[in-house]
Amino acid sequence: MDVKKLMSDLEAKHPGEKEYLQAVHEVLESVSEIYDQHPEFAKAKIIERMVEPDRVFTFRVTWVDDKGEVQTNLGYRVQFNGAIGPYKGGLRFHKAVNVSMLKFLGFEQTFKNALTTLPMGGGKGGSDFDPVGKSDAEIMRFCQAFMLELWRIVGKDTDVPAGDVGVGGREIGYMYGMYTKLAREYNVGVLTGKGMTWGGSKIRPEATGFGALYFVQHMLEKAGKDIKGKKLALSGFGNVAWGAALKTLELGGKVVAISGPDGVCEMPDGITPEMIDYMLEMRASNRNKVEDMATKFPGKAKFTAGKKAWSVKCDIALPCAFQNECNGDDAKELLKNGCWAVAEVSNMGCTPEAIKAFQDAKILFAPGKAVNAGGVATSGLEMTQNAMHISWTEEEVDKNLHQIMHSIHEACVKFGTKKDGYINYVDGANIAGFMKVAQAMLEQGTI
Ligand code: 2IT
């Protein structure tokens, strides 16, 4: 595979789509060798087909704010790859959302979903709507206006969105309400992350964070280590960081930092259950400030403006917020402070420079598409329960989630172990996901 040529062709075709090109480049680097061992892939032009989304929808979303002013945002749904099942992936509401960001996320989602062992294709969507500072009524009106367009695109067997950054249970509820009104279809399978009284799955809210910690447990176990008593630094304070903090405590680890766009909260004695509960209020307030934690718990959390979680001394770092939130300089600082394991819980949380620094230092590093796959996997379990018109118990869902994370870890080890014994989890995840999607595309012919 000529990675350079493929990349320069893509750059010419999609100039300026930075995040998308970054995500594609990483996968091409990982799969290049195995691709060349399978001439049937090149013959069918699998890679040239796989890097392009099946289709991209763009639409206008117009709504009225609390002052009575008319607002217009852009809405998107990227149906990236449907080879192994209906499109599946979250909706992101964030002011920086654009086609490049959603294409990168849809591309990553395709491989992630393949890793879950469940039959789900890759998709992603969202809007440049900025939830920061918005009232609950504004959130509702925006979600309803967004669904006025989205409902024609999605469906339980075609495309099943869920939450992502800026979209949680509340937003899914408002969108679902509008969907049933428009489609007059009360089948609960069209969105996941639903409420517990209308088709949601137990453990789905916690699943991304819980799954990440299960993955970390397997990774540590394989390296002969244990999470008990270890210090963890987390970025963000949203749904993902919340679930990760809950499970960390349960497993005997100590969360010593969380962060936000405004700075970092350091907690030398570790986060407490009350503080973890408060993270939910912080998210719901739409203030987007981690400083609120230090204001609420003055003796326990110390806020420093303008600093990242990576400035706090830790054993294990968990990026839980946004793409490229940990860069080469951050990686150097983490390594200098003795950090020996990094697991991306956000999608593409580390820059290529940061990943290289971790891998050169031979510390444990695992990528988002493996670590955070528990979220979408549990969405898949929600779809299964919806299709069967039943609800599983917490124990049943958690057991399935555990098994899935175990099998993802195994797949990474199988495809990522190098001659010297070092496990390159990035290669492992990319190759395992790629092989499954490539095989499906090959068997379905040239379409
Ligand atoms: O990035 C992700 O995997 C998600 N935001 C969850 C997607 C889903 O469909 O549950």
Annotated catalytic residue within 88, 103, 112, 124:
124
Ligand 1 centre to CA of 430 (Å) is 17
Ligand 1 centre to CA of 381 (Å) is 13
Atom of ligand 1 nearest to the CA of 372: 3
Q: What is the pLDDT of residue 60?
A: 98
* Residue of 277, 279, 247, 243 lying closest to 260 (CA atoms): 279
Beta pairing class for 121-127 and 159-163: unpaired
* pLDDT tens digits in sequence order for the chain, 447 residues long: 999 999 999 999 999 999 999 999 999 999 999 999 999 999 999 999 999 999 999 999 999 999 999 999 999 999 999 999 999 999 999 999 999 999 999 999 999 999 999 999 999 999 999 999 999 999 999 999 999 999 999 999 999 999 999 999 999 999 999 999 999 998 789 999 999 999 999 999 999 999 999 999 999 999 999 999 999 999 999 999 999 999 999 999 999 999 999 999 999 999 999 999 999 999 999 999 999 999 999 999 999 999 999 999 999 999 999 999 999 999 999 999 999 999 999 999 999 999 999 999 999 999 999 999 999 999 999 999 999 999 999 999 999 999 999 999 999 999 999 999 999 999 999 999 999 999 999 999 999
Q: What is the pLDDT of residue 326?
A: 98
Structural tokens at position 311: 């400035």
4 noted as active-site residue:
no
Total count of residues recorded for the chain: 447
The Cα 37–Cα 157 span in angstroms is: 35
Structural tokens at position 410: 């195994």
Q: What is the pLDDT of residue 170?
A: 97
- Cα dihedral 173, 174, 179, 185 in deg (nearest 10): 40
Instruction: Read off the pTM.
Output: 0.97
- The interaxial angle of helices 99-115 and 425-443, nearest 10 deg, is 90
- Name the one residue in this structure whose structure tokens are 């590093």: 365
Atom of ligand 1 nearest to the CA of 347: 1
Q: Which domains does the chain have, with CATH numbers?
A: 3-186 (3.40.50.10860), 207-362 (3.40.50.720)
Inter-residue contact 155 to 88 (CB < 8 Å): no
DSSP assignment, residue 200?
P
Ligand 1 centre to CA of 362 (Å) is 29
- Closest-CA residue, ligand 1 atom 4, reads 90
* Residue of 178, 168, 88, 173 lying closest to 131 (CA atoms): 168
User: What is the DSSP secondary-structure string of 103-126?
Assistant: HHHHHHHHHHHHHTTS--EEEEEE
Ligand 1 centre to CA of 164 (Å) is 6
Give me the residues paired with residue 305 across strands: 263
Ligand 1 — pocket residues by CB below 6 A? Answer: 88-90, 109, 112, 162, 164, 192, 347, 372, 375-376, 379
> 154, 158, 371, 376: which to mutate for ligand 1, most atoms within 8 A of CB?
376
> 379, 383, 384: which to mutate for ligand 1, most atoms within 8 A of CB?
379
Atom of ligand 1 nearest to the CA of 164: 5
Atom of ligand 1 nearest to the CA of 109: 3
Inter-residue contact 90 to 163 (CB < 8 Å): yes
Ligand 1 centre to CA of 287 (Å) is 23
**What is the maximum alpha-carbon separation in the chain?**
64
